[in-house]
Chains A and B, each alone.
Chain A
């Protein structure tokens, strides 16, 4: 058991960047095709990161890369907690830690663009936090456990009981994956928001680390999607997870950016209606079931 969890953790550390990078590459190709373009080769994200590590490290302030390093390390820690079968709630809180470090790095740079980017990043975090906690809460209410291996072992696919919660999660996934209409604090390459928002003042290797950390994060977020389908045939579950990611790419290309006010308001309302609604529905359902 201990060996297994250790192996999963190590597998995550080694494989997640590769998976995340490939996902990013496929993302760009699909996006390009949607725009009647050809798009870059699928390994382009890896070329980007390798190139970034070849650049000279340029900073506005000598402390900012420290925060990026913390962000990177804590993102890996978060993913390891999740994939080694740890506590879902702890994963969410560790994710918060990582996000705060990135924001601190942008604040440390003392530049207007990165400052507003950091403020917006915190606003985004404030927006999706309730829904994320409701996801954890509703999963707990069904499986009676926060531990990932208990959740994975549950006999019925969670999507059956938590369809609305899943929709709510997809809503905030758009925020977390930094896709339009919610790419407020920074956007994918090729787009600009506040120039580059929170990542404006990071260059070279620091930017490369941020890129890789985002890959780790994306794998983690898709892992949470997988939880909803865990009891199904693994192949089907993976396909459904990737389909959810495809849906996000579609949303990204269909909508233009909205305001932070809309982001916060809509996320909280969605969490309220879909999240709480699902939970109430469950309570009612189990009440009638027990009758």
Chain B
């Protein structure tokens, strides 16, 4: 039985967001929405995280950063692009410095549109991301257990 769904830890990264979506993400952690009920913890450390919540679009400066963070997350992991900027670049899509949405840098599993995305949408999106996470965990389980736990 997989416990991925019962204890998803998130890493929250602001790509080039105006902070609107970020504030909504943090609002989810407040007593009003309290996502710690679901065992979700906001860790600041990719090595401890299962779900990467990214807001804002990808530009020249942050594309390597996002790739680095994604690489440093251990499997299984999912990425949720929050807000329309992270999905496709939003209203800044045509700007000279904006490359586009998060999928220009890393594979995205869930797109949560909105400007800013509401906490209800974010929670809904994360719950769907967890379903994807479980599928990935199951696929990883097909690999022998010895390979997962290192020396």
Contacts and interface: CB of A to CB of B under 8 A. Distances in A.
Interface residues of A, number: 37
Interface stretch (A34-42, A234-242, A248-256): A34-42
For the residues of A in contact with B, the DSSP-based class is: loop
A50 B150 contact: no
A196 B43 contact: yes
Contact of B148 (A48, A51, A192, A205): A205
B10 to A, nearest CB: 11
B149 interface: yes
Nearest to B33: A37
A192 B44 contact: yes
A51 B7 contact: yes
B75 A55 contact: yes
B118 to A, nearest CB: 20
Nearest to A201: B47
B37 A57 contact: no
Given A51-B6, A58-B72, A200 B36 contact: no
A32 B150 contact: no
B24 interface: no
Contact of B150 (A38, A51, A54, A205): A205
B30 to A, nearest CB: 8
Contacts of B19: none
A54 B44 contact: no
Interface in A190-235: 190, 192, 195-196, 199-205, 207
B74 A40 contact: no
Contacts, number: 100
A40 B36 contact: yes
B31 interface: yes
Contact of B2 (A40, A54, A62): A54
A140 interface: no
Contact of A54 (B9, B39, B72, B137): B137
Contacts of A192: 43-45
Interface in B118-151: 137, 140, 148-151
A51 B2 CA distance: 7
Contacts of A202: 47
A43 B37 CA distance: 12
Interface string B83-101: 0000000000000000000
A38 B34 CA distance: 7
Contact of A57 (B34, B48, B150): B150
B25 to A, nearest CB: 14
A58 B148 CA distance: 9
B4 A51 contact: yes
A203 B3 CA distance: 16
Interface string B1-41: 01110111100000000000000000000010010111101
A168 B9 CA distance: 36
Contacts of A200: 45, 47
A91 interface: no
Given A56-B148, A62-B151, A190 B41 contact: yes
B24 to A, nearest CB: 18
A47 B44 contact: no
8 contacts: A32-B36, A39-B37, A40-B38, A50-B3, A54-B3, A55-B75, A201-B47, A205-B149
Interface of B: 2-4, 6-9, 31, 34, 36-39, 41-45, 47-48, 50, 72, 74-76, 137, 140, 148-151
